[in-house]
Amino acid sequence: MNFPGLDPVWSLVHHAARGVGLIRPWTMPGIRSALNRGERVLVVASTALGDSILTTPLLETLATHLGPERISLLVREPYAELYEYDPRLARIYFVRGKYRWSGLRRQLAEDPHRIALLSNMSEPDLIPLLWYGGVRGFLRYRSRWTRYPRWMANEPMLRQPGAPDYASGHAIENNLAMAHAIGCEPVTHQLSLPRYRLGIGTRERRLIIHPGASREIKRWPVENWARLGDALAEKFQCAISISGSPDEVPLAREIAQRMKSSPHVCAGEISLKALARLQAASTAFLSGDTGPYHMAIAVGCPTVTLFAPTDRGSSTEACGPHQADPVFHRALETEQLGDNISTIPFDTVLAESIAVIEASLARPDAEGDA
C-alpha cells in the first residue's frame, strides 16, 4: 500500500519532527551505553527473502556477544516461518508490506527493543514506525544512503550516491559492519539457518532447478533449463525437482514439458520451510540469483547460481556465495551490467554443474557415493 505522494509527506513530517527536537535518536555513545545496560537489539530485514538470510552472520554475531535473549528479527510475513525456532533469536516480528504494519507498533512497544540495526527495508514508512515502537538508536546498512541520515548513529559510515564505493562490498560484510560499530566483532561470515530444526536426514541423489527470478532479464531460457536437467539426470541417474513460487508454476511446468526425463514439479506446492528441507537433503540447487539460492547455502546445499546484475548492488560482489567453499558453490555472471542472463553459455553452466554435483556426491553424507 503506497498512495501517490505518501512517501515524501510521511518523510517530511518526520524530518520536521527531528528538526525541532521532537524526535532525538541516540548517538553512538548513547547506543553503547544502552547496550551496557542490557538493552535489546532488533535486526530489520523486511524486504526480500535473500535480504533476511544475508543477515544470519549478523544474528550469529549479536547472539554470541549479547545473548540470544536480547536479539529479535523483523522480516516480511512469508519468511518468518524460517526463523520461528532459530536459537539465536528471542522473537520474530513481521510486516506484510510497505505501510502494511498493522499492530507492529503495539507489539514493539509491549516488548521494547531500544536499538535497531537496519539491513534492507522499506525505510520511508518503517523507520518512523520503529521510533513509535520504542526504538531510540538506529544504525544503517552502510552500502547505500538513506532518507533519514540524521537519525543514524553511524551516519559517517554510510556511502553517499555518486561516491566511488556506493553500493559496493558484499551484503554480509556491510551487515557485519553494524555489529563492529557497536563493539561486536564478527564470529562468522557464513550464512546459516537452524538445519537441525528442519528434520533433515540422509541426502538424496536429487537436483533442484529453480528457474524463476524477479525480472525477465534474470531468467535463463526455459530450453536451457530443460536441456540442462536432462543432461544431468542422464549423467548422474538422479531425480530432478523444479521449484518456484505459485506465480512461477507455469514456468516450471513449461520446463518439465520440454524435458525427456520426468521431473517432479513442486513449484507452488510446498512451503518455504519445506523447500529448505528439500534443499538440505538434495545434491545441488541450480538457479538464478534469487532468495532460495541464499537459503540453499544457509542449509548446506551445494549451488550453481546464474547472475545477471543490473547494478553493482545486485552483482556477485554484493550477493555472491561469500566465503563459501568454491568446490560446492559456483556463481556465473554476465560480462556487463545489464546484459541478459541468456548470454551465459549453456556449456559453461553444464560444466560448472557437473563439477559441483560430483563434489557433492563425494561427500560422506551423500546417499550412494559417486
The domain locations on the chain are 7-181, 195-361
Q: With 70 as the cut, is the pLDDT of residue 201 above it? A: no
Residue 111 CA to residue 295 CA, distance in Å, equals 29
Looking at the DSSP bridge assignments, the partners of residue 227 are none
Tens of pLDDT, residue by residue over 59-73, are: 999 999 999 999 999
In this chain, the answer to whether the domains covering 7-181 and 195-361 adopt an identical fold is yes
Q: With 50 as the cut, is the pLDDT of residue 138 above it? A: yes
pLDDT, residue 200, reads 53
328 and 302 Cβ atoms separated by less than 8 Å = yes
Cell for 25? 535518536
pTM value? 0.94
Question: Would you tell me the crossing angle of helices 346-361 and 222-236 to the nearest 10 degrees?
Answer: 40
Percent of the chain with pLDDT over 90: 83
Tens of pLDDT, residue by residue over 210-229, are: 999 888 889 999 999 999 99
182 and 116 Cβ atoms separated by less than 8 Å = no
DSSP label at residue 195: G
- Residue 363 — pLDDT band, cuts 50, 70, 90? confident
Residue 327 CA to residue 360 CA, distance in Å, equals 9
Provide DSSP, 321-337. -TT--TTTEEEEE-SST
CATH number of 7-181: 3.40.50.2000
Tens of pLDDT, residue by residue over 164-179, are: 888 889 999 999 999 9
Q: With 80 as the cut, is the pLDDT of residue 197 above it? A: no
Identify which of 219, 201, 195 has the alpha carbon closest to the alpha carbon of residue 209: 219
- Structural Rg of the chain based on CA atoms: 21
Tens of pLDDT, residue by residue over 319-352, are: 999 999 999 999 999 999 999 999 999 999 999 9
Reported CATH class of domain 195-361 = alpha beta
